[in-house]
Amino acid sequence: MFVYADNAATTAVSKTALEAMTKALAETYGNPSSLHRMGREASAALRQARETMARCLGAQSREIYFTGCGTEADNWAIRYAAQAGAAKGKRHLISTPIEHHAVLHTLEALKKEGFEVTLLPVYENGVVRLEDLKSAIREDTCLVTVMYANNEIGSVQPISEIGALCHEKGVLFHTDAVQAAGHLPIDVVAQHIDMLSLSGHKFHAPKGVGALYCRKGIPIQPFIQGGGQERGKRAGTEALPSIMAMAAALEESCAHLEENRKKVEHLRDKLIAGLSKIPFARLTGDPVDRLPGMVSFCFEGIEGESLLLRLDLAGICASSGSACTSGSLDPSHVLLAIGLPHEIAHGSLRLSLCESNTEEEIDYILSEVPQVVRTLREMSPVWARMMETNPDPYKE
Ligand SMILES: *Cc1c(COP(=O)(O)O)cnc(C)c1O
């Protein structure tokens, strides 16, 4: 059996997105900046895509800027806020230690440039607390950037409450909603969001296209210099086929949001219940406030990488931590930030589901993972050492 359960790393392109993309490649090949009919046709398609994206987020279409990816949107929003803040003598930013590297590495770079960064505690469940944010906000705070939902443990942050608090204090609020867009409801007005990043390939559009929502009235400055595209804010000929595919994919995801969410949550909960029966297994992330498709565990006494390779041989595509950290020997910064010791963080497994996964696939995963974990433990010196002081759960 083959099971793709790594949807937090990337998703398969949907039929709808593929059709929109092929149509654009074959027919809407004009440059939206050209004055002739092909250009006008492309420009109309671009306008329509922008309107669709805006509608899905509760935004206005002039508040949507297309970017090359989610990473670019994150870099752009944070860099702009820092620059605008510095101009007013505000050089303090607030974030969390479990952000994607697109955010964390940008903040690191800003620190080297003299900015100050406060990372809020996220506790064992990977969720920030409003009272911590309240006491962290200062006179010189120019930005709060907190991700909507985490890509490794699935914890969902209280975005509306964070947004309301930021607005009450007059601080800009950005959220990396790359894992949330197309999976959780988003309303930038009701949730008091000033800037929001998303990425097409996390909701069944192709890779290499994203968007930044930036509330009107915020004088965002270009991050990439060049031509006058995106109302002079983001230069570069628009990637129309990808943009049209992304708009079609987001529209489809949003139209089926509740239905998909119920279906995926059911599969997720079944998988979590089954994997929880493995001895010395612990669910990571918030048990309730989590992404609909996110199943994340640590199994003591094993290495996540070995587990992944064995699951791959069994036809199961999963992940250990995030795709960006795999290949390195350091355990995930997210698992360390929620207080897991190194040796436990090393045994992490992430299975991220989408609406096209099936009950049969979940049953298959549940028949494979416990067995593979047991086999790896039988070979593990760490496990052997653990069993010197614990009753061996595998011995009758
Ligand atoms: C995937 C991801 C990103 C990066 O998006 P790209 O389009 O791949 O650059 C940023 N933040 C989160 C939370 C993600 O999951």
Lining ligand 1 with CB less than 6 A are 69-71, 100, 102, 147, 151, 176, 178-179, 199, 201-202, 210
Distance separating alpha carbons of residues 246 and 240, to the nearest angstrom: 10
- Determine contact, residues 206/15, Cβ cutoff 8 Å: no
Residue from 72, 101, 103, 176 to probe ligand 1 pocket by mutation (most atoms less than 8 Å from CB): 176
Q: What is the pLDDT of residue 329?
A: 65
Q: What is the pLDDT of residue 324?
A: 45
pLDDT at 332 over 90: yes
pLDDT tens digits, one per residue of 101-125: 999 999 999 999 999 999 999 999 9
Nearest CA to ligand 1 atom 3: 70
Q: How far is CA 101 from CA 116, 145, 322, 324, 375, in A?
A: 18, 13, 10, 8, 33
pLDDT at 154 over 70: yes
DSSP string across 134-148: HHH--TTEEEEE--S
Q: Catalytic: which of 56, 69, 324, 354?
A: 324
Q: Enter the tokens of residue 370.
A: 């416990």
Secondary structure of 232-272 as H, E, C letters: HCCCCCCCHHHHHHHHHHHHHHHHCHHHHHHHHHHHHHHHH
Residue from 67, 76, 196, 202 to probe ligand 1 pocket by mutation (most atoms less than 8 Å from CB): 202
Distance separating alpha carbons of residues 373 and 297, to the nearest angstrom: 12
Distance separating alpha carbons of residues 284 and 238, to the nearest angstrom: 39
364: which residues sit within 8 A by CB, 6+ positions away?
1, 3, 316
Q: Is 166 a catalytic residue?
A: no
pLDDT at 138 over 60: yes
pLDDT tens digits, one per residue of 17-35: 999 999 999 999 999 999 9
Q: Enter the tokens of residue 392.
A: 């061996």
Nearest CA to ligand 1 atom 5: 70
- Residue 328's pLDDT band (cuts 50, 70, 90): low
324 exposure class (CB count in 10 Å sphere: 0-12, 13-18, 19+): middle
Residue appearing with tokens 């653990």: 386
Q: Enter the tokens of residue 185.
A: 């409801």
Query: 197 C-alpha to center of ligand 1: Å?
Result: 9
pLDDT at 322 over 70: no
Query: 280 C-alpha to center of ligand 1: Å?
Result: 31
- Determine contact, residues 101/324, Cβ cutoff 8 Å: yes
Query: 73 C-alpha to center of ligand 1: Å?
Result: 9
**Side chain identity at residue 80, one-letter code:** Y
pTM above 0.95, yes or no: yes
- Determine contact, residues 117/97, Cβ cutoff 8 Å: no
**Residue 359, Cβ neighbours under 10 Å: how many?**
10
Q: What is the pLDDT of residue 330?
A: 78
Q: Which helix (H) or strand (E) holds 166?
A: helix 159-169
Query: 71 C-alpha to center of ligand 1: Å?
Result: 6
Distance separating alpha carbons of residues 174 and 327, to the nearest angstrom: 30
pLDDT at 325 over 90: no
Query: 247 C-alpha to center of ligand 1: Å?
Result: 17
Q: What is the pLDDT of residue 331?
A: 86
Q: Select from 297, 265, 321, 294 the least CA-distant residue to 369.
A: 297
Q: What is the pLDDT of residue 327?
A: 52
Closest-lying ligand 1 atom to the alpha carbon of residue 102: 10
Distance separating alpha carbons of residues 25 and 1, to the nearest angstrom: 34
138: which residues sit within 8 A by CB, 6+ positions away?
92
pLDDT: which is higher, 277 or 395:
277
pLDDT at 326 over 50: no
